[in-house]
A and B are shown apart, each in its own frame.
Chain A
Amino acid sequence: MWRDAWLVASRDLRIEARSRVAIWQVLPFALLTLLLFAFALGPKPGLLAESAPGLFWLSVLFASVLAAQRSSAIEGTSATKDAARLLGLDPSGVFLGRLGALLLEIVALEAVLLAGVTLFFHVRVTSWAVLIPSLLLAAIGLCAANVLYGSLAGEARVRATLLPLLVLPAVAPVLIAGSKAFSSSVLVGDGGSGARWLGVLAVFAVVYSALGIVLYGPLEES
C-alpha cells in the first residue's frame, strides 16, 4: 500500500510540476477570492481583520475543491482508471498517493494565503503552536474528503457541478474548527480554546482518511 501510495503521489506531483495547474490556476483563484471578499465586505480594516479567519478558510475550501477537480481529472479518464486496475495498484495506496500529492499542494496554498491575509487583512499571528497544526490537520481532512467525494462524483461532466455540492457540506466542521483555531491564534475575535478545535480537526482528518483507505477500492471498482 505505501509503495503504491509513493508511486502515485510521485506521478501526480510530476504531472503537476509539468502542467503547473496548481500554480497558475488554483493559487491565483484562491488569492482572487481574498480580493473579492474584501470588495464584498468593504475596506474597513477592523472588519476585515475580524473576518480574516473565516475568509481565509473559505478561500482554502473553494480552492481545494478546484484542486480536487484537477486531481480527479488526472486520475479519472476511464482508460487510465482501467489501466490502474490492470496494473494491480492497491486502491488504498492510490487513495493515499492522491491524498499526499493534493496535501502538498494545499499546504503550499495555505502558506501563500496566510501571507495574503497577513498582508491584506492586517492580521497578526500570536500563537503558531495552534495555527500550524490546525493548517496541517485541516488540510489532511479536506484532501481526504475531496479525493473521496471526487471518486463518488463520477465522470468529469457531472463531477464539475456535483463535487462542490457533495463535499462542501461535509467539510463544514473543518471550516468551523479551522476558523476558530485561526481566531484563537491571532489577536482578534473570540476563538475559544484552540485545543478543542484542533481535536475536531484531528478527528475529521483521521475519520476521513480511514474511510478513504477502506472505501476507495470498492468505489473505484464500480
Chain B
Amino acid sequence: MQRALKILGPTALALVVVDVILGLWVTPPDEVQGDLVRLVYLHPALAWVALYVAFGLAALCSILYLWKRTRSLTFDRLAAASVEVGVVFTVLTLITGSIWGRPTWGVWWTWDARLTSTALLAVLFIGYLALRRVPADPDVRAKRCAVAALFAAVDVPIVHFSVVWWQTLHQGATVLNANLSPRIHGSMAWTLLLSFIAFTALFAWMVLMRFKLEELNTEGEDAELAAAIVARQAEGVSS
C-alpha cells in the first residue's frame, strides 16, 4: 500500500491542478452562464464522489463487516475513512453549489431538491461520525457504525424522492431557471471528464491515508493490549 500511496498522491494532486488550470483558463466560458460555468469542473465531480463513491463505499464496507463470513475490522476502518472524507466532499459540494447559486438565484441557499437532500445526507453521516466517537469496544463500535451507515444508505433514496417531490410543489423561485448542466462539448467535455477522474483519485488517496492512519493507531493499541496482558498476568504472580 505504501507504494500505491506514493504514486496515487502526487498523481491525484497533479490531476486536480491540471483540472483547475484547464477549468479556469483554458476552457471557454458558456454562452448563457459565462464564467459561472467553470464551477462545473468542480461541483459535479465533488457531488459524484460524495454521494456515490464515498457513501457507496461506506455502505458496501458496512455490509461486508456485518456479514459474518467477511467480518473484519479492516472494513470498519475503511468505512469510517470513507465517511469522514465523504463528509468533507459533501460540504464542499454544498459550498460550491452555494457559490454557483448566489449569482444565479440571488441567494446563497435555496431549497433546491438536490441541495436539500445533500444537506440531509451530510447530517446523516455527521451522525455516523458522532456515533464513532462514543467510547466502546472496537467490535461493538464497528457493529453500531456499520448498522448506522446501512440505515443512512437505505434512507438515501427515500430522502431523495421525498425531497424531489416536496420541492417540485414549490417551483418558481428561480428567475433564470438555469441548472448546473449546460450543454457541454469539446474541451469542456474533456475537462469535465478529467475532473471526475481527478477528484475520484483524490478521494481514493485521502481515504487510503486515513485508513493507514487508523491502522497505525490500531497497531499501537494491539501492542498496548499485549503489554497490558503481560502486566496483568504479572499481578497474579507477584505477592
Contact = CB atoms under 8 A, between A and B. Distances in A.
* Complex: A in contact with B (CB within 8 Å): yes
Interface of A: 145, 148-149, 152-154, 158, 162, 165-166, 169-170, 172-173, 176-177, 180, 190, 192, 196-197, 200, 203-204, 207-208, 211, 215, 218-219, 221-222
Contacts of A197: 165
B131 interface: yes
B126, B137, B169: which has the most chain A beta carbons within 10 Å? B169
Interface in B80-127: 120, 123-124, 126-127
Contacts of A162: 127, 130-131, 134
24 contacts: A145-B151, A148-B147, A148-B151, A149-B148, A149-B151, A152-B147, A152-B148, A153-B131, A166-B130, A166-B131, A166-B148, A170-B152, A170-B155, A173-B155, A173-B158, A192-B169, A203-B158, A208-B151, A211-B150, A211-B151, A218-B66, A219-B147, A222-B140, A222-B143
A196 B165 contact: yes
Given A145-B151, A211-B151, 6 more contacts: A152-B148, A162-B131, A165-B127, A166-B127, A221-B143, A222-B144
A221 B66 CA distance: 13
Chain B interface mostly helix, strand, loop or mixed? helix
B143 A200 contact: no
A192 B130 CA distance: 36
A196 B154 CA distance: 19
By CB atoms of chain A within 10 A, which of B130, B137, B162, B163 has the most? B162
Nearest to A171: B155
Chain A interface SS verdict (over half): helix
A77 to B, nearest CB: 17
Nearest to A204: B158
Interface of B: 66, 120, 123-124, 126-127, 130-131, 134, 136-137, 139-140, 143-144, 147-148, 150-152, 154-155, 158-159, 161-163, 165-166, 169
Contact of B162 (A166, A173, A208): A173
Contacts of B140: 222
A180 B131 CA distance: 31
A203 B158 CA distance: 8
A160 to B, nearest CB: 12
Contacts, number: 82
Nearest to A161: B130
Contact of A169 (B127, B143, B169): B127
- Top 5 A-B pairs, shortest CB-CB distance: A222-B140, A173-B162, A169-B123, A176-B162, A166-B127
Nearest to A216: B147
Given A148-B151, A218-B66, A172 B144 contact: no
A177 B139 CA distance: 36
A107 B85 CA distance: 40
Residue of A158, A166, A200, A219 ringed by the most chain B CB atoms within 10 A = A166
B147 A170 contact: no
Contacts of A180: 165-166, 169
B138 to A, nearest CB: 11
Given A190-B169, A207-B158, A222-B140, A165 B147 contact: no
B35 to A, nearest CB: 35
A197 B151 CA distance: 21
Contacts of A153: 131, 134
B158 A200 contact: yes
Nearest to A222: B140
